[in-house]
């Protein structure tokens, strides 16, 4: 009963509607309007409650138009450590595997993601938590911010950067059992999957001015 009352109050908040695109269709369930998502999407009670939580947090947390320079410095330091450690794992296969992994990691995080995702982000030309907003402005022209949600799917291109060395390390371990290889793979996993998530969850998403409707924020906060 309380949950539904809070949801109803949320749906009547015109300001909130404008920020995340909720609309009512007669007596039908709440939907996300077309526009950022490009299509109407049904929203259930759990999703509404999530947005309510995000909205409350958004109102209680300071948002940054430009993040402190220490935030992207820390995040990129972790990324570089991930690239190096991942390259070392692939080096155990051969040098070419390490070169290919390192080249793709740099290309993906500092060219492809800025081009396909960051050009439509509200932090284009500004200091975001990763610094990619400023990099995107240096390399590419500004895109349509209404397409940010749909363009966010290109973040999947980063999956090999953070997952491929774990798979490679596991294969190496089973081919030739070695505690050093196991420690190397676990260390990479901690950096790539835990440290990066903690930084984004604690220092990135809470202070982002578009976290209410960001697909990435929703995934990392759940």
Residue 55 has pLDDT above 60, yes or no: no
Nearest to 210 by CA among 132, 123, 133: 123
Q: Of 11-15, 60-64, 115-119, give the range with the top mean pLDDT.
A: 115-119
- Angle CA(146)–CA(162)–CA(193) in degrees, nearest 5? 90
Note the pLDDT of residue 7: 39
What DSSP character marks residue 207?
A: G
What is the pLDDT of the chain when averaged over all its residues?
Answer: 80
Q: Across the strands, what pairs with 42?
A: 31
Note the pLDDT of residue 197: 92
Other C-beta atoms within 10 Å of 169: how many?
A: 25
Name the pLDDT band for 37 (thresholds 50, 70, 90).
Answer: very low
Note the pLDDT of residue 176: 86
Distance CA 77, CA 71 (A): 10
Half-sphere exposure of 211 (CA within 13 A, CB side): 31
Residue 33 has pLDDT above 60, yes or no: no
Distance CA 123, CA 125 (A): 6
Name the pLDDT band for 103 (thresholds 50, 70, 90).
Answer: very high
Note the pLDDT of residue 18: 41
The answer to whether the beta carbons of residues 173 and 181 sit under 8 Å apart is: yes
Higher confidence at residue 211 or residue 151?
A: 151
Q: What is the mean pLDDT of residues 188-200?
A: 95
Name the pLDDT band for 150 (thresholds 50, 70, 90).
Answer: very high
């Amino acid at each position: 009963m309380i949950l539904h009352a809070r949801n109803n109050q949320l749906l009547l908040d015109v300001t909130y509607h404008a920020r995340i695109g909720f609309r009512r269709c007669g007596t039908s369930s709440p939907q996300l309007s077309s526009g950022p998502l490009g299509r109407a999407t049904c929203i259930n009670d759990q999703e509404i409650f999530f947005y309510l939580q995000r909205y409350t947090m958004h109102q209680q947390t300071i948002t940054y138009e430009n993040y402190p320079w220490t935030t992207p410095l820390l995040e990129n330091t972790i990324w570089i450590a991930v690239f190096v450690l991942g390259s070392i794992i692939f080096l155990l296969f051969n040098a070419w595997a390490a070169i290919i992994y390192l080249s793709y990691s740099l290309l993906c995080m500092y060219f492809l993601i800025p081009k396909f995702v960051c050009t439509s982000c509200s932090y284009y030309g500004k200091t975001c938590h990763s610094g990619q907003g400023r990099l995107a402005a240096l390399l590419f022209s500004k895109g349509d911010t209404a397409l940010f949600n749909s363009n966010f799917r290109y973040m999947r291109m980063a999956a090999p950067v953070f997952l491929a060395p774990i798979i490679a390390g596991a294969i190496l371990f089973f081919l030739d059992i070695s505690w050093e290889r196991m420690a190397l793979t676990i260390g990479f996993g901690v950096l790539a999957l835990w440290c990066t998530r903690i930084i984004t969850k604690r220092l990135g998403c809470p202070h982002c001015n578009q976290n209410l409707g960001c697909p990435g924020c929703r995934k990392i906060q759940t």
